[in-house]
Structure 1
Amino acid sequence: MLKNFWYAVEFADKVTRQPRKVTCLGQDFVLYRTESGGVTCLSDLCVHRGGALSMGKVTGDCIACPYHGWEYNAEGVCVKIPANAEERKIPRKARVDAYPTVERYGMVWAFLGDLPEQERPPIPHIPEHDDPTFKAVHVEMEINANYERTFENVVDASHTPFVHGTAFGNPKKPQIPDFRIRQTDWSAEADIELSPPPPGGLWGLLAKRKPQPEYVTVTNAWYLPNIVKLHVRLPIGDLLLYDFNIPLSQDRTLVKILGYRNFFTGSWADGNTRKRIEKILLQDQPVVESQRPELLPFDLSDELHVRSDGLQVAYRRRRLELIKQGWWVGGDDIITGDSPRRTATVIPSPVRRDNPELASAWVHKARTGGTAQ
């Protein structure tokens, strides 16, 4: 799992004044809206006795822990301890991690890492979101597999004739012509020619009026850390899927999809579009959940690659570079409690870098007797 990136953690319309728990990179967070409508993202762990803030109550711009009523503002600073006498000061260490948030493309994005603003990688651009000719739908599904396996599955063009059969691929023409990869530090994409099956159902009604091409151009792309784009140019129009593979843990992934189409744009067709997207996910699910090893190997040579795997290889090489830079979620991000001895992931926030004198507020005893941040 990679830290120091913007992660789209929830659909924006699901975040309200009511605290909402979300999970990413193995850590729990709480989201809520302030009185001005902005979104706050805090660690979902009260520093006092570990109560879940997501079970608490929002008052003004603050959230109160349901256990002892400790209140935290949008910056994660404790501003009230009800059990304290009025003359007692609140300890400076009484705070929780607060993560920068941005609301964009109908998603809430949280920056999960401690990099200063000028060093943070960009949020990918989704031009279809503001294009009035496109209509969007939301789809989500949990899969019992590592997020990198689900991520690579979507960017993989050569599996479509076999996993999706005549619903999305053409088993009679599985060949993948050579393609060129366009790559940046944070993304890679390629235009790939696939032999399509004839569309069926509702979409097939309109397709019958148009000549059927021998090949369609599909653009497969990935954006770090966990987003895949699939752009299918159908005879009836364009379908684009932006696939957010949210790592709940090492072996569980929450897939959230923004699906855009510029055909059948009436709300009456939304249900049919969701059904088609869900069908694709359900076809992928058993295959991805059965992959071994469960985690993506670190060494390229541990799995065999062919020419059609170019996008996956590009991702693995870039991933290895970032691991060497210390962006991988590792031992330093895992804390262990004393009683009971349970482990949890804690991603450092920019607050820690800005307040080094408070570092001990986040120090926990490790099993070895040392300390882990």
Structure 2
Amino acid sequence: MLKNFWYAVEFGDKVGRRPAKVTCLGQDFVLYRTRRGEVVCLSDLCVHRGGALSMGTVKGDTVACPYHGWEYEPGGACVRIPANPPGRGIPGKARVDSYPTVERYGMVWAFLGDLPEEARPPIPHIPEHGDPAFHAVHVEMEFAANYERTLENVVDSAHIPFVHGTTFGDPDRPEIPDYTITLDDWSAVADIRLSSAPPRGLWGVLARHRSRPEQVTVTNGWYLPNMVKIHIRLPFGDMILYDFNIPISQDRTLVKILGFRNFLTGRWADGNARRRIERILLQDRPVVESQRPELLPFDLSDELHLRSDALQVAYRRRRAQLIERGWWVGGDDVVTGDGPRRTATVIPSPARRDDPELARAWVHKARGGSGAPVSDDTAT
């Protein structure tokens, strides 16, 4: 799993004045809105006795722990301890991690890492958001698989004729022509010519009086850390899917999709669009969940690659570079409890880098285990 990136952790319309729990990179977070409507992202773990802040309440701009009422402001500092008598101060170490948060393209993005603002990678651009020619639907589904397996599945064009042969793939014409990749530090994109089956149902009605090309051009690409974009050019319009593969843990992924279309843009057609996307995910899920090894190999030579796998190979090479840079979630980000396999991931926030004296302020606990302070390594 990669840290030091902006992760789209939730649809914006799901975050309000009630605390909401989300999980990413193996860590639990709490989201809520301030009185001005700004989204806050904090570690979902009260520093006092480990209560889940997501079970608490929002008071003004603070979130209060449901156990002893400790209140935390958006920057992570505790500003009220109800059990303290008047005049007693609040310890400087009474605080939780706070993560930079941006609301953009209908998604809530949290920066999960400790890089300063000028060193952070960009949020991928989604030009269809706000374009009146397009209408969007939201879809989500959980996979019992690693997020890199689900990500690579979406950029893998060669599986379409076989896994999706009953929806839009053409098993009689499975060839993938060679394609050229446009690559930068944070993304890789390619135009790929694919053979496809004729659309069915409501979309088939639209295509009935239009000529059907032998092949369609699909623009496919990955955007670090976990997003895939697929642009399908249909005879009657464009379908564009932004696929966010959110790593709940090493072996569980929450897939959230923004699906844009510039045809049948009325809300009455939303249900049909969602069902089509869900059907594709349901075809992918059992195949991806059965893959072995469950985690993507670190060595390129551990799996066989063809020219049709060029997008996946580009991802693995860039991933290897970022691992060398220290952006992989590793031993320094994991605390261990007393029991077997009792571990928890702790992603360092910018405040740890900004104020090394507070590096041990946040005490994290593995489920079923004892408390363990985060090592000094996370502050460097």
TM-score (structure 1 length as normaliser): 0.97
Instruction: State the shift of 1:165 in Å.
Output: 0.2
1:130 aligns to what SS in structure 2? coil
Judged with a 3 Å threshold, the aligned counterparts in structure 2 of structure 1 residues 65 and 285 are, in CA distance, closer, same or farther, namely same
Number of the residue aligned with 1:142: 142
CA root-mean-square deviation:
1.7
Amino acid at match of 1:139: V
Which deviates further from its counterpart, 240-249 or 161-170?
A: 161-170
Judged with a 3 Å threshold, the aligned counterparts in structure 2 of structure 1 residues 340 and 199 are, in CA distance, closer, same or farther, namely closer
Judged with a 3 Å threshold, the aligned counterparts in structure 2 of structure 1 residues 365 and 214 are, in CA distance, closer, same or farther, namely closer
Judged with a 3 Å threshold, the aligned counterparts in structure 2 of structure 1 residues 340 and 61 are, in CA distance, closer, same or farther, namely farther
Number of the residue aligned with 2:316: 316
Amino acid at match of 2:222: W
Q: How many residues align?
A: 373
Written as runs of structure 1 = structure 2, the 5 A alignment for 1:1-80 is: 1-80=1-80
Instruction: State the shift of 1:78 in Å.
Output: 0.2
Written as runs of structure 1 = structure 2, the 5 A alignment for 1:135-214 is: 135-214=135-214
Find out whether 1:82 has 2:78 as its counterpart: no
Q: Separation in 1 of the partners of 2:37 and 2:243?
A: 26
Q: Is the 8 A contact 2:344 2:365 kept in 1?
A: no
Number of the residue aligned with 2:130: 130
Q: Separation in 1 of the partners of 2:68 and 2:308?
A: 57
Q: Separation in 2 of the partners of 1:30 and 1:360?
A: 21
Instruction: State the shift of 1:12 in Å.
Output: 0.2
Q: Is the 8 A contact 1:365 1:372 kept in 2?
A: no
Amino acid at match of 1:16: G
Which deviates further from its counterpart, 108-117 or 82-91?
A: 82-91
Number of the residue aligned with 1:229: 229
Q: Separation in 2 of the partners of 1:336 and 1:293?
A: 25
Q: Is the 8 A contact 1:31 1:41 kept in 2?
A: yes
Q: Separation in 2 of the partners of 1:339 and 1:282?
A: 36
Amino acid at match of 2:98: A
Q: Is the 8 A contact 1:34 1:61 kept in 2?
A: yes
Q: Deviations for 1:84-118, whole angstroms, at most 9, x for unmatched residues? A: 11121100000000000000010000000000000
Q: Separation in 1 of the partners of 2:335 and 2:77?
A: 21
Instruction: State the shift of 1:188 in Å.
Output: 0.3
Q: Is the 8 A contact 1:145 1:294 kept in 2?
A: yes
- Structure 1 gap ranges (5+): none
Number of the residue aligned with 1:358: 358
Q: Separation in 2 of the partners of 1:116 and 1:338?
A: 34
Instruction: State the shift of 1:315 in Å.
Output: 0.1
Amino acid at match of 1:122: P
Q: Is the 8 A contact 1:336 1:364 kept in 2?
A: no
Q: Deviations for 1:255-304, whole angstroms, at most 9, x for unmatched residues? A: 00000000000111000000000000000000000000000000000000
Q: Is the 8 A contact 1:220 1:230 kept in 2?
A: yes
Q: Separation in 1 of the partners of 2:341 and 2:294?
A: 25
Q: Separation in 1 of the partners of 2:350 and 2:363?
A: 16
Q: Separation in 2 of the partners of 1:226 and 1:48?
A: 33
Number of the residue aligned with 2:279: 279
Which deviates further from its counterpart, 334-343 or 72-81?
A: 334-343
Amino acid at match of 1:50: G
Amino acid at match of 2:220: N
Q: Is the 8 A contact 2:45 2:364 kept in 1?
A: no
Q: Separation in 2 of the partners of 1:152 and 1:203?
A: 27
Amino acid at match of 2:131: D
Q: Is the 8 A contact 1:337 1:364 kept in 2?
A: no
Q: Is the 8 A contact 2:16 2:32 kept in 1?
A: yes
Q: Is the 8 A contact 2:32 2:40 kept in 1?
A: yes
2:359 aligns to what SS in structure 1? helix
1:205 aligns to what SS in structure 2? helix
Judged with a 3 Å threshold, the aligned counterparts in structure 2 of structure 1 residues 109 and 128 are, in CA distance, closer, same or farther, namely same
Q: Is the 8 A contact 2:181 2:188 kept in 1?
A: yes
Q: Separation in 2 of the partners of 1:350 and 1:370?
A: 20
Q: Is the 8 A contact 2:337 2:372 kept in 1?
A: no
Give me the identity figure in percent: 76
Instruction: State the shift of 1:47 in Å.
Output: 0.3
TM-score (structure 2 length as normaliser): 0.95
Q: Deviations for 1:6-60, whole angstroms, at most 9, x for unmatched residues? A: 0000000000000000000000000000000000000000000100000001000
Judged with a 3 Å threshold, the aligned counterparts in structure 2 of structure 1 residues 78 and 259 are, in CA distance, closer, same or farther, namely same
- Structure 2 gap ranges (5+): 376-380
Q: Separation in 1 of the partners of 2:28 and 2:360?
A: 21
2:165 aligns to what SS in structure 1? helix
Find out whether 1:216 has 2:201 as its counterpart: no
